[in-house]
Amino acid sequence: MKQILIFLLIGLLTTTLMPAKDKFKNLQVLDFETEKELKAYMKGMANNLGVKCVFCHDMNDKSIDTKHKKIARGMIKMTANLNEEVFSWAEETKVTCWTCHRGEKEPQITQP
Ligand code: HEC
Ligand code: HEC
């Protein structure tokens, strides 16, 4: 009994202390220390587009790449490139999903 408890405790400790990038199966661009940070980023991204997690994810396994998730990964890279290369002069982050999306899945391409 005591051994089982010790095993359980070790299991619990390793999953809570494990870095997020080891815990998640399919992070190709994002790099977060903790699960909490990743979840906060995901919530922000969903809000910026006015969607729920299910718009990009297979809710049974979020590591699966869906059509929208792949597009979103490209958008994350594009946004990072804009901030690093075009806005390299800026101290703080200038471009986010919100900059174009403004709470919509599909930003307006031309002036209405
Ligand atoms: C606009 C699309 C989009 C929305 C909405 C979104 N995600 Fe994600 N999510 C992604 C992308 C893209 C990745 C992979 C990032 C990478 O490759 O570094 C990801 C990865 C993840 C992972 C890691 C999965 C793994 O094991 O690799 C988790 C967990 C996750 N998202 C949770 C959420 C939750 C919870 C929500 C809702 C609050 C959410 N996501 C909303 C696009 C989205
Ligand atoms: C420089 C402007 C810009 C930025 C910044 C931007 N996007 Fe986009 N995004 C677009 C445009 C333009 C489209 C195409 C809309 C259309 O199909 O009419 C699009 C489409 C998408 C789509 C596909 C929507 C659909 O209906 O299929 C997703 C998902 C997406 N963006 C996610 C993101 C995420 C997540 C971020 C932030 C990491 C982001 N975008 C940042 C301009 C941008």
- Please tell me the pTM assigned to this model: 0.90
Name the residue ranges covered by the structural domains of the chain. 2-101
CB 97 less than 6 A from any atom of ligand 1: no
Nearest ligand, CA of residue 29?
A: 1
> Average of pLDDT values for 11-36?
78
Contact indicator for 107, 100 with CB cutoff of 8 Å: yes
For the stretch 24-50, pLDDT in tens is: 999 999 999 999 999 999 999 999 999
Pocket of ligand 2 (CB under 6 A): 45, 49, 68, 71-72, 75-76, 79, 95, 97, 99-101, 105-107, 109
